[in-house]
Amino acid sequence: MSTSPHTSLFNTTYPIIMAPMFLISNAAMVKAALDHGITGAIPALNYRTDEEFRTAIDEIRAHTDKAFGINLIVNKSNVKYKKQLQTCIEKRVDFIITSLGSPEECINAAKPLGIKVFCDVIDLKYALKVQALGADAVIAVNAEAGGHCGNMSGKDLIPMLVEALDIPVISAGGVSESADVKKALALGAAAVSVGTVFIASDESPVSSDYKQALVDYSAKDIVLTTKMSGSHLTVINTPYVQSIGTEASWLERLMKRNKWLKKYIKMFIALRGMKAIENAANKATYKTVWVAGPSIEGVHSIDPVGAIADRLTSDL
Ligand SMILES: Cc1cc2nc3c(=O)[nH]c(=O)nc-3n(C[C@H](O)[C@H](O)[C@H](O)COP(=O)(O)O)c2cc1C
């Protein structure tokens, strides 16, 4: 099993991050992941208040001294960004995963204190940019990933980035079993970041209908929609998703072409979409917009996080 360079990034037994997932990742999941030799990260946005956010970090720290991370949305849409960054720094979380925007401020603030910064990227240009800014690693989000996926397959993206970068490449997308982890490592990845399969875990806070959907549906049922956040998002093609379609409406598209309206319409689509996803995740509603990636193919039951982690690491 490869022990380097992931051990210098987050010092776990196995080179796996339980990926940050909006509305899903929580302290219970991360504690279980850490107990089973992998690390985990939580989006700061999963907490309504700074107080709740701090409590979650303290809860994990009280449980273990193993390394875990926080995901920050670093663009302007996240009005809580500065406060969240300050809390990460004050609490000395072990690593920060940045998404959607320039990580410069985050890197400058976190690195001098020994907090590692891993940046989501989907192509070489951006990967080179974050490397130049001082990122400790890139998270290469490929076309098989759940959530806001990339557009290159892991098979193409990982070797390209490994070849061009000096910093480690963590691969995100399409991992549901141990063999998938091995494939990514063989392509040169230092570690993998795994999200979808952990939605169907006992500790995950979403409704049992959402978890069961991961068991019942398969990879062929995953579609890309721009209806929810304005950019491509992977969702399960439920009857509700089929009924609303996967393309933003003509009016939204028209308004996005207008320079002045663009910013507001984008924000409006994102807020409305996030609300719909939040409602569907937490309660029984016919408006089922369930975010998940094609790796639901490997989900056959709802299990504890520890059992899922054990499956991923069984053959490493
Ligand atoms: C339901 C869901 C929510 C997600 N939310 C976030 C998020 O808030 N921030 C982020 O950086 N990535 C998010 N992602 C992407 C994951 O961090 C990770 O890149 C992805 O799940 C890896 O692909 P996989 O689902 O095939 O394992 C999300 C993915 C899913 C499935």
> Does ligand 1 lie within 6 Å of residue 24's CB atom?
yes
**Structural domain count, the chain:** 2
- Same domain assignment for residues 111 and 237: no
Which CATH number do you get for residue 53? Answer: 3.20.20.70
Residue in 18, 22, 207 to alter for ligand 1 test, most ligand atoms within 8 A of Cβ: 22
- Same domain assignment for residues 104 and 70: yes
- Same domain assignment for residues 51 and 116: yes
pLDDT at position 3 is 47
- Same domain assignment for residues 52 and 148: yes
pLDDT at position 252 is 63
**Are 131 and 164 spatial neighbours (Cβ–Cβ below 8 Å)?**
no
18 Cα to the center of ligand 1, angstroms: 9
Domain that holds residue 256: 218-291
Beta bridge partners of 121: 140
Q: Is residue 12 part of a domain?
A: yes
> Does ligand 1 lie within 6 Å of residue 194's CB atom?
yes
- Same domain assignment for residues 226 and 275: yes
141 Cα to the center of ligand 1, angstroms: 9
- Same domain assignment for residues 86 and 178: yes
258 Cα to the center of ligand 1, angstroms: 30
- Same domain assignment for residues 105 and 199: yes
Q: What is the 3-state secondary structure (H, E, C) of the chain?
A: CCCCCHHHHHCCCCCEEECCCCCCCCHHHHHHHHHCCCEEEEEHHHCCCHHHHHHHHHHHHHHCCCCCEEEEECCCCCCCHHHHHHHHHHCCCCEEEEECCCCHHHHHHHHHHCCEEEEEECCHHHHHHHHHHCCCEEEEECCCCCCCCCCCCHHHHHHHHHHHCCCCEEEECCCCCHHHHHHHHHCCCCEEEECHHHCCECCCCCCHHHHHHHHHCCHHHEEEECCCCCCCEEEECCHHHHHHCCCCCHHHHHHHHCHHHHHHHHHHHHHHHHHHHHHHHHCCCCCCCCECCHHHHHCCCCECHHHHHHHHHCCC
- 113 to each of 11, 106, 272, how far by Cα in Å? 17, 11, 37
pLDDT at position 1 is 45
- What is the residue-averaged pLDDT of the chain? 90
Q: Which two tokens stand for residue 259?
A: 């320079």
274 CB burial (10 A radius; 0-12, 13-18, 19+): middle
- Same domain assignment for residues 257 and 199: no
- Same domain assignment for residues 223 and 282: yes
pLDDT digits (tens, 9 = 90+) for 36-87: 999 999 999 999 999 999 999 999 999 999 999 999 999 877 889 999 999 9
Q: Is residue 240 part of a domain?
A: yes
Q: Is residue 102 part of a domain?
A: yes
Side-chain-facing half-sphere of 57: CA atoms under 13 Å: 23
pLDDT at position 172 is 98
Tell which atom from ligand 1 comes closest to the C-alpha of 199: 1
234 Cα to the center of ligand 1, angstroms: 10
- Same domain assignment for residues 172 and 230: no
Q: Is residue 211 part of a domain?
A: no
- Same domain assignment for residues 17 and 155: yes
Q: Which two tokens stand for residue 208?
A: 């049992």
pLDDT at position 2 is 45
**Are 52 and 79 spatial neighbours (Cβ–Cβ below 8 Å)?**
no
pLDDT at position 231 is 75
- Residues of the chain short of pLDDT 50, as ranges, are 1-3
- Same domain assignment for residues 93 and 138: yes
